[in-house]
Structure 1
Amino acid sequence: MAKSWENDPEYMSYIEDLINRPEVQKLKKFKQHHYTNRLEHSISVSYSSYKVAKKFHANAKATARAGLLHDLFYYDWRTEKSDKGTHAYVHPRIAVKNAEKITDLSPLERDIIIKHMWLATIAFPRYKESYIVTFVDKYCACQEVLVPFAVNVKNKCKSYLGYSGDI
């Protein structure tokens, strides 16, 4: 994703107190969806959700902030397991606890973060903003995996076929 989010003054006004916090920047250290880090993923979800929320006259500020904080946890979910439940169930609750250490969350923001794994969990979102982040999160995850994967496949096919042009 191009860094157009940094050039959007309204969006930046919503997340400026969060984006440079060490607790948020620490997300750079964790791989997310194979080709991105967790901070890149969180910004992508946040900014894309913010744009969708504006289009649907939803609370863009809460959507942007909760989207940025929805994966605020510091472990590799591929290798570390919890005895409290599945990663899909546990990590939103950890993210809420971590988010509450750095900012006050509204009930809307809490619901967005807790419910963003709906479809992998049975907790239905309560607000339209929660649905927005839930579906944008799935979309971003697919983009983050499938686009680089397709490029890799294309390059391997070109290499295998000895083709140097465009497919």
Structure 2
Amino acid sequence: MNRYMREFVNTTGELLDSDQVRMMGQWKHHGPITTLDHSLFVAYLSFRAAKALGMDEVAAARGGLLHDLYLYDSKDKSAHPGWQCFDHPRAAARNAEGLTKLSAKERNIILSHMWPLGGALPRSREAWLVDLVDTFCAGLEVFRIYHPAKLRRRLGVCPLVTVH
């Protein structure tokens, strides 16, 4: 594990150890990619970019890790009231607030990560960054350019439930 990975794990360790975050490994998000793998990918790249740009890397990492903490199968229409793109940021924010104390910046990162689809406007440079990194990571995943399970394994994060 390199220095940046160690710093990322130190920054997000309490969250990475939580059952709620590790549970994201049981649901698919983009094709074969789990929500956990996607969220780690977004959080790690956001952490690195924020650090390089002199931004709040802690908020970027925590907001990025929790941005999809909606904890249900997105393909199960009975699990959420409307369209997944519009609904899941609010569900993720509620779940994140139940897990840890969020700063106002972290809450806005979670709520605005689907802007303009998700509704909330990004109100910090870190929120804009996570929104862009999320879109970038999703593109790499959807087009099978990168599978972030490699990153999860390098970070030493174990899903609570393994997807078959």
Place the TM-score, normalised by the shorter chain, in its bin. 0.7 to 0.9
Identity %: 37
1:68 aligns with 2:65: yes
1:112 aligns with 2:115: no
RMSD in angstroms over aligned alpha carbons? 1.9
For residues 124 and 67 of structure 2, the distance between their equivalents in structure 1, rounded to whole angstroms, comes to: 15
Displacement of 1:119: 2.6
- Alignment: residue pair count: 145
For residues 84 and 6 of structure 2, the distance between their equivalents in structure 1, rounded to whole angstroms, comes to: 34
Q: Are the equivalent residues in 2 in contact too, given 1:89–1:121 (CA < 8 A)?
A: yes
Structure 1 segments, 4+ long, off by >3 Å, are 4-7
For residues 106 and 38 of structure 2, the distance between their equivalents in structure 1, rounded to whole angstroms, comes to: 18
Aligned to 1:126: 123
1:23 aligns with 2:20: yes
SS of residue in 2 equivalent to 1:105: coil
1:87 aligns with 2:49: no
Aligned to 2:155: none
User: Unmatched 5+ residue regions in structure 1?
Assistant: 150-167
Displacement of 1:11: 1.1
Displacement of 1:40: 0.4
User: Equivalent of 2:97, from 95, 100, 107?
Assistant: 100
1:58 aligns with 2:73: no
Displacement of 1:106: 0.2
Q: Are the equivalent residues in 2 in contact too, given 1:70–1:95 (CA < 8 A)?
A: yes
Cα gap change, 1:133/1:5 in structure 2, threshold over 3 Å: closer, same or farther?
farther
For residues 112 and 53 of structure 2, the distance between their equivalents in structure 1, rounded to whole angstroms, comes to: 19
For residues 103 and 50 of structure 2, the distance between their equivalents in structure 1, rounded to whole angstroms, comes to: 17
Q: Are the equivalent residues in 2 in contact too, given 1:27–1:74 (CA < 8 A)?
A: yes
Displacement of 1:109: 0.2
1:36 aligns with 2:33: yes
Aligned to 1:155: none
Q: Are the equivalent residues in 2 in contact too, given 1:92–1:113 (CA < 8 A)?
A: yes
Displacement of 1:86: 2.6
Whichever of the two has the greater Rg, that structure is: 1
Displacement of 1:71: 0.4
User: Equivalent of 2:6, from 9, 12, 36?
Assistant: 9
Displacement of 1:70: 0.4
User: Unmatched 5+ residue regions in structure 2?
Assistant: 147-164
Cα gap change, 1:95/1:122 in structure 2, threshold over 3 Å: closer, same or farther?
closer
Displacement of 1:123: 2.5
Displacement of 1:113: 0.2
